[in-house]
Amino acid sequence: MAEVCCDSAVVVGAEAEARARARAGRRRRAGVEGAGTWKAAAGVAAEEAATRKRRASGGEAGVVVVAKRHGAASVAGRRREMEDAVSLREAFAAPADGEVDGLEVAAARCDFYGVFDGHGCSHVADACRERMHELVAEEMGAGAAPREPASWTGAMERSFARMDAEVIAGCRAESGSCRCEGQKCDHVGSTAVVAVVEESRVVVANCGDSRAVLCRDGAPVPLSSDHKPDRPDELERIEEAGGRVIFWEGARVLGVLAMSRSIGDAYLKPYVTAVPEVTVTDRSDGDECLILASDGLWDVVSNEAACEVAQACLRRGRQRWCAEAAALLTKLALARRSSDNISVVVVDLRRGNAL
């Protein structure tokens, strides 16, 4: 029998148990059992203590990071280990009001967002989450004067080089605290796609096959290009350095790594480099949001589809639409049977929500 409450039927007893067994069987047959084990985006700065974390409904949902200007979701998916890391740092390098060249200037606020997709172990991605924004802030300096695109490129390249040197120098000392073996610590690395959002510009630095996409006037604008070993310029660079690209379940550097740039991976240098590609994009009135994600999303969801999902959430008019978009994109990747960890960050770029 069934009890009815508030127009919805609640089935109890033997019939409920039978339905539960049937649902469990369908999940096992679909291969999605365990796919919804979420990991909250960690490493959120102290100033984000007010950020609310909520568990969405459903077995494939998880913990979503919610804030006024952004939202993030991160899930292990069908992998046994979670090796992604997400960094969300609002006002990470805001200087104090003061003088520059004798002129009074107001503080120029910058927000930092990053997605790091580890491989071999999680400790390089975790180190990037904890340190990358600090290195970028140091390389930016404390000046409030506008920076030229060339200076941004130099600052990002120096930041990535320092991060790479730190993880290579320190990984063996830290290996006791993670699951990887010390003698294989040099085989650990991470992609890195980071964005610094200013009032007038978005600066993106990318190293690896994570990706940044700007949604502008309803259309996607790629702000990064995936570093795959068979990309013509990357293939040429690898071969000039004396390396080889071997096709083993896809193009791989020396038949091992499926990306041509990363932080860490000391055993594959100089073929795999930590030098990022940097883009500096002026913001416009048509900008809606910025999407940063690991390849667990982009392997199965196109730039166009990702922007359509974000726009659909935006049109609903809810205040926390960025978090809804991040969670929905992650669920879409799971539904399309992504086989990797999935991490998504959505940043609100609308002029009405200017920094």
The pLDDT value recorded for residue 95 is 53
The pLDDT value recorded for residue 186 is 80
Q: What is the 3-state secondary structure (H, E, C) of 326-348?
A: HHHHHHHHHHCCCCCCEEEEEEE
The stretch 233-237 carries a mean pLDDT of: 97
pLDDT tens, 52-87?
Answer: 343 332 234 346 798 889 999 999 998 989 999 999
**Contact between 41 and 342 (Cβ < 8 Å):** no
**Contact between 275 and 261 (Cβ < 8 Å):** yes
Q: Which fold has domain 71-94+107-348?
A: Phosphatase 2c; domain 1 (3.60.40)
| All residues at 6 or more sequence positions from 52 whose CB lies less than 8 Å from its CB, including other chains | 66, 67
Which of 211, 206, 207 lies closest to 221, judged by CA? 211
Nearest 5°: CA angle at 285, between 279 and 287?
A: 50
Per the model's pLDDT, the better-predicted residue between 109 and 127 turns out to be 127
The pLDDT value recorded for residue 178 is 62
Which of 171, 90, 79 lies closest to 133, judged by CA? 90
Is pLDDT at 341 greater than 90 in this prediction?
Answer: yes
> How much helix, strand and coil, in percent to the nearest 5, is found in the chain?
35, 30, 40
Please provide residue 142's backbone torsions phi and psi, each rounded to the nearest 5 degrees: -100, 5
Written as six digits, the tokens of 202 are: 């978005």
pLDDT tens, 186-212?
Answer: 889 999 999 999 999 999 999 999 999
- Rounded Cα–Cα distance for residues 87 and 225 (Å): 20
Q: What is the mean pLDDT of the chain?
A: 81
Size of the chain in residues? 355
- Rounded Cα–Cα distance for residues 129 and 88 (Å): 9
**Contact between 199 and 354 (Cβ < 8 Å):** yes
Q: What is the pTM of this model?
A: 0.80
- Highest-confidence segment of 75-89, 99-113, 163-177: 75-89
Percent of the chain with pLDDT over 90: 63
> What is the four-CA torsion angle of 299, 85, 93, 313, rounded to 10 degrees?
50
> Residue 23 — pLDDT band, cuts 50, 70, 90?
low
Which H or E run contains 152?
Answer: helix 149-174
Per the model's pLDDT, the better-predicted residue between 209 and 39 turns out to be 209
pLDDT tens, 296-340?
Answer: 999 999 999 999 999 999 999 898 999 999 999 999 999 999 999
The pLDDT value recorded for residue 146 is 54
Is pLDDT at 10 greater than 90 in this prediction?
Answer: no
The pLDDT value recorded for residue 109 is 78
- Rounded Cα–Cα distance for residues 6 and 343 (Å): 37
Is pLDDT at 172 greater than 70 in this prediction?
Answer: no
